[in-house]
C-alpha cells in the first residue's frame, strides 16, 4: 500500500485539530452509494482525513460507509483519525429542529459525533419545503440566537466537537460573536484567487475564527461556477513559470493564506494531485503580488434566497454590502 500523504493541521478555538485540506463531497448528480463509497475509500488511502458534507448534499451515508470500510480494511485505525464536517440544512434552521437534524445526520453517517457542525446559511426556510424548489413564501426570518443556542446544545452533548457557520458576512459573524456563549470555530465561505475575501479574512483572524474556503477553483463546472480561476491568464502564467498546474497554484494560494481549503474531485488522479502537489513548494512574493491583481467577483451569491417579500430582498442585503 502506498504511503498516505500527511496533511498539516490547524488548532481551532475549540481546542480540536482540523486538517488544513478537506475533500468536498457535493456533486450533481451524486454517484450511486457503492460507487461513492469506493471513491471515498480511495481518498482515505491517498491521505484525505477531512471530509466535508451537508444534510443537503446526499453524501453523508457514503462517507459513513467509507470510514467503516477503511477501518475494517486497516487503512485507518479508528474513527478518530478522520475529521467529518456536516452542515445544518436551511429547512432545519429553526431552534427546535437543530438537534433532531444533527441526530439524523449522525444516523446517516453511522457515527456518534461529527467533528464540526456548521449552519449552512444564515437563512431559514419552512421545514416541509424541498430545498431544491424554493418559493418566496417559503422564506422566513432567521432566528440567529435561537438556532445558535441549539448548536451550542449539540456541542455540550458531545454530538459535535466543534460548531461554526458557513456563508456568514463580517456583519453577521460580528452579531453572532456578541450573543454566543461558545464562539463559532469556523466560517466556511467561498474563497479563491478570483474572490479573495481579504476583509473577511482579516476580521476572522482578529476574532480567532478559522476560515475554511470552498470552491477554490471557482466551482468550475458547478451550478454557480465560472472560469474566473481556471482560465485566469495570471494564474496560467504563474503555473507555466513554476511548472505547476493552475489548480495547484490556486490551491497553494488559499493554503498560504493560513486557511483550510475544501477541494472537490472524484477523479482518482486529480484527488492525488490536489493533495500531493500543494504542500512541497511556495509561491513567491511576485506571484502573490500578481494574484492580488486578479479581478474580484463573488460566484456563489445566494441568489436563490433573494425574494421581494422574503427576509433578504437583494444580494447586497444578504451579504450586508460585502460584495
Distance CA 73, CA 220 (A): 34
Distance CA 309, CA 293 (A): 38
CB 154 within 8 A of CB 109: no
Tell me 195's DSSP state: B
Strand 124-125 relative to strand 139-140, pairing:
antiparallel
Distance CA 194, CA 273 (A): 21
Which residues have a Cβ under 8 Å from the Cβ of 97 and sit 6 or more positions away?
Answer: 127, 150
Strand 9-11 relative to strand 17-19, pairing:
antiparallel
Cell numbers at 46, concatenated: 491517498
CA distances from 269 to 43, 83, 142, 265 (A): 10, 22, 42, 9
Name the residue with cell 493541521: 9
Helices (H), the chain: 33-46, 60-72, 98-109, 144-156, 170-179, 198-207, 233-242, 246-256, 268-276, 285-292, 315-318
Does 120 appear as a known binding residue?
Answer: yes
Instruction: Provide the CB-side half-sphere exposure for 58 (13 A, CA).
Output: 11
Q: How far is CA 217 from the centre of its chain?
A: 13
What are the residue numbers of the active site? 57
Binding site membership: which residues?
120
Binding site membership for substrate: which residues?
120
Amino acid at each position: 500500500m502506498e504511503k498516505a500523504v500527511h496533511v498539516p493541521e490547524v488548532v481551532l478555538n475549540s481546542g480540536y485539530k482540523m486538517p488544513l485540506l478537506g475533500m468536498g463531497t457535493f456533486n450533481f448528480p451524486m454517484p450511486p452509494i457503492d460507487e461513492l463509497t469506493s471513491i471515498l475509500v480511495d481518498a482515505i488511502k491517498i491521505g484525505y482525513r477531512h471530509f466535508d458534507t451537508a444534510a443537503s448534499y446526499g453524501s453523508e451515508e457514503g462517507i459513513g460507509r467509507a470510514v467503516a470500510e477503511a477501518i475494517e480494511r486497516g487503512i485507518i485505525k479508528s474513527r478518530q483519525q478522520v475529521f467529518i464536517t456536516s452542515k445544518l440544512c436551511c429547512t432545519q434552521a429553526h431552534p427546535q429542529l437543530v438537534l433532531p437534524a444533527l441526530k439524523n445526520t449522525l444516523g446517516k453517517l453511522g457515527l456518534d459525533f461529527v467533528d464540526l457542525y456548521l449552519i449552512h446559511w444564515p437563512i431559514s426556510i419552512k421545514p416541509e419545503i424541498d430545498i431544491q424548489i424554493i418559493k418566496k413564501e417559503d422564506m422566513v426570518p432567521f432566528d440567529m440566537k435561537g438556532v445558535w443556542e441549539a448548536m451550542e446544545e449539540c456541542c455540550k452533548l458531545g454530538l459535535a466537537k466543534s460548531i461554526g457557520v458557513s456563508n456568514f458576512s463580517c456583519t453577521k459573524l460580528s452579531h453572532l460573536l456578541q450573543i454566543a456563549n461558545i464562539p463559532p470555530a469556523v466560517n466556511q465561505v467561498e474563497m479563491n484567487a478570483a474572490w479573495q475575501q481579504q476583509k473577511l479574512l482579516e476580521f476572522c483572524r482578529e476574532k480567532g475564527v478559522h476560515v475554511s474556503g470552498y470552491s477554490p477553483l471557482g466551482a468550475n463546472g458547478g451550478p454557480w461556477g465560472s472560469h474566473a480561476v481556471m482560465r485566469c491568464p495570471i494564474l496560467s502564467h504563474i503555473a507555466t513559470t513554476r511548472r505547476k498546474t493552475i489548480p495547484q497554484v490556486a490551491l497553494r494560494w488559499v493554503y498560504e493564506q493560513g486557511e483550510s481549503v475544501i477541494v472537490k474531485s472524484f477523479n482518482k488522479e486529480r484527488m492525488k494531485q490536489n493533495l500531493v502537489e500543494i504542500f512541497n513548494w511556495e509561491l513567491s512574493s511576485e506571484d502573490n503580488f500578481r494574484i492580488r491583481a486578479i479581478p474580484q467577483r463573488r460566484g456563489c451569491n445566494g441568489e436563490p434566497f433573494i425574494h421581494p417579500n422574503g427576509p433578504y430582498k437583494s444580494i447586497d442585503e444578504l451579504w450586508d454590502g460585502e460584495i
